[in-house]
Amino acid sequence: MNNAGYTGATAFARHPRRPMKHLLIVYHLPQGKMQAMAQAVERGARHEDIAGVEVRVAQALESGPDDLLWADALLLGTPENFGYMSGGMKDFLDRSFYPCEGKLEGMPFAMFISAGNDGTGALTAIRRIANGFAFREVREPVLVVGELTDDHLAACEELGMAMAAGVELGVF
Ligand SMILES: Cc1cc2nc3c(=O)[nH]c(=O)nc-3n(C[C@H](O)[C@H](O)[C@H](O)COP(=O)(O)O)c2cc1C
């Protein structure tokens, strides 16, 4: 699916009695590759044909349980640091766990990760914590190892668009 080809559910979503769905994008850090990836994910999520989804983008250190409880679907972005997710992302998930416990079962989520030479440590760690929240991973992660390319950015945009379209259509 690419941007040009997506026709979406615009007619449905603009129906006045159909409530807006909420997509939350949380990432850390706001710099370098991760910043560019997050911007691409957001661009996809805000695709003009997806009219029934409100998108909220938040820095992990400034985000918390209120954002998660608002959301119908979630995208998490982090670099891999020392074989794990970033400290900011871990802090966000730690602070959110008890206030959200038992309230977000089945929430669709996906990840985008930047790494120098691996990335699997961050991926595995988030998956383990997502199990604790009972999130459901509904899309393959975008894992960027090494230099960020236009193809990677296109994959990030596609991820954002797919999550927004999926939550709009209620397919997750
Ligand atoms: C403190 C620190 C620890 C890192 N540890 C890892 C690591 O364990 N595995 C890895 O693949 N990359 C590691 N990296 C590299 C980053 O994951 C990589 O640069 C990533 O793309 C973040 O870059 P960005 O800030 O431009 O998004 C580390 C970088 C830093 C600063």
Cα dihedral: 15, 171, 70, 92 (round 10): -150
Q: How far is the CA of 79 from the centre of ligand 1 (A)?
A: 6
pLDDT at residue 167 greater than cutoff 90: yes
Residue 146 Cβ < 6 Å to ligand 1: no
pLDDT one-digit tens code per residue, 138-161: 999 999 999 999 999 999 999 999
Residue 106 Cβ < 6 Å to ligand 1: no
Residue 10: per-residue pLDDT: 46
Cβ distance 77 to 113 under 8 Å? yes
Give the start-end residues of each E strand in the chain: 21-27, 53-59, 73-81, 84-85, 108-115, 136-137, 142-145
Tell which residue, 23, 56, 46, has the closest CA to residue 170: 23
pTM over the 0.75 mark: yes
pLDDT one-digit tens code per residue, 94-136: 999 999 999 999 999 999 999 999 999 999 999 999 999 999 9
pLDDT band at 16 (very low <50, low <70, confident <90, very high): low
Residue of 34, 35, 76, 81 with the most ligand 1 atoms within 8 Å of its CB, for mutation: 81
